[in-house]
Structure 1
Amino acid sequence: MNFTETFLNADVMLRVLPMLVVGLKNTVLLAISIIVCGSIFGVVLSIMRLFAPKPISLLAIGLIDIFRALPILVVLVLIYYALPFFGIRLSSFVSTVIALSLVLSAFTAEVFRAGIEGIPSGQTEAARALGMHFPLILWKIVLPQALRIATPPHTSNCVAIAKDTSLASVVAMPDLLKQATDAQALTANPSPLIAAAIIYLVILWPMVRLVAYFERRMSRAPR
């Protein structure tokens, strides 16, 4: 067999396409769930770290440091395989969402912390002088500006975590990579893996370009 028949076999790719479509649906659902949950929890962690009483702030710092330091695969394996020893059994989908959301939230918290700290303190002081309460200051003044600053790095983190959904195959989640691996075993041909790689590229490349677009906008934005 030549290179094309081995790695780019169109007949094999078409034969396993239904399997890959199922895996793609699961991967997209995973990525959306992780990005939404991780982003929200990350912003909450950032606020806890910066504005909560010291015990809560230290707890937030500990969570951020732990999940930034631990490899994603370790977090996923612990949640899926270790929690059943404590009577907690989660599906592969839920385990993956929790594990990757925790990791994304840690990086999101740091990104938003930098964004919040980049806002001149005079703005919040002026808002307090006008009688605005802290939650309103946070919602109307701090978070909108922090979001603008944090969007490029946060988008980059989201692209990275979307790729890391492939780790779900470790816990038998039928995501795109798992389906491609099973298809490779069924057909005795690596073409399904190449097809999966092409699908990842088609989906994630626009997101990579979106990161570059946000970075260009930020570099032109007035300080």
Structure 2
Amino acid sequence: MSSGNMLAIFYFLLEGIGNTLLVTFTCFLSAFLFGLTVAVLRRLSPLPLQKILDVLVFILRGIPILIAVFLVYFGLPSIGIYVSPLVAMNLSVGLISGSYLAEVFRGALKLVEPYEITVAKVAGMR
């Protein structure tokens, strides 16, 4: 192989690393925000909304990621919503990963006892 081919391959690898980091960051950010929002809403909302969110998390956790990507990327254009591949990946992976994070955050919020919140307020914590 000539050095020109190796240099071209190196540039493709650098571009791929950049795209990978972009997808990783955006999917993590959307999953974190979705998971935290759902966990807090499940903790603080009335019972009917809690049950709806429970069903939503249960359904999203049961969908394989590849199926979700295909549904978003090929399904949304069939109803007139056109998205880029990055948005389709971000939406599908973010929702599914966010549902797993919602369970993690729910467990963490459940461990904080009500008296601990009262003690923290008395101690001056906000």
Please list every run of 5 or more consecutive structure 2 residues that lacks an aligned counterpart in the other structure.
none
- CA offset digits 1:173-219 (Å, max 9, x no partner): xxxxxxxxxxxxxxxxxxxxxxxxxxxxxxxxxxxxxxxxxxxxxxx
- In the alignment of these two chains, the number of paired residues is 123
2:28 maps to 35
Percent identity between matched residues is 27
- CA offset digits 1:110-157 (Å, max 9, x no partner): 1111111112331134467x6x9xxxx9xx4xxxxxxxxxxxxxxxxx
Instruction: Name which structure has the greater RCO, CA cutoff 8 Å, separation 6+.
Output: 2
Please list every run of 5 or more consecutive structure 1 residues that lacks an aligned counterpart in the other structure.
1-8, 141-223
Offset, 1:13: 5.7
Aligned counterpart in structure 2 of residue 123 of structure 1, from 113, 116, 123? 116
* 1:42-121 alignment, distance < 5 Å: 42-121=35-114
d(CA) in 1 for partners of 2:71, 2:9: 32
Mapped pair 1:17 → 2:1? no
d(CA) in 2 for partners of 1:18, 1:53: 53
**What secondary structure does 1:21 align onto?**
helix
d(CA) in 1 for partners of 2:48, 2:109: 20
d(CA) in 1 for partners of 2:40, 2:6: 47
d(CA) in 2 for partners of 1:88, 1:34: 20
d(CA) in 1 for partners of 2:63, 2:6: 36
d(CA) in 2 for partners of 1:126, 1:59: 32
The AA in structure 2 aligned to 1:79 is: V
Q: Which runs of 4+ in 1 moved over 6 A?
A: none
d(CA) in 2 for partners of 1:57, 1:38: 19
The AA in structure 1 aligned to 2:105 is: F
**What secondary structure does 2:112 align onto?**
coil
The TM-score with structure 1 as length reference comes to 0.50
1:167 maps to none
Offset, 1:65: 1.0
Offset, 1:59: 1.9
The TM-score with structure 2 as length reference comes to 0.85
- CA offset digits 1:84-122 (Å, max 9, x no partner): 111111110100011111011101111111111112331
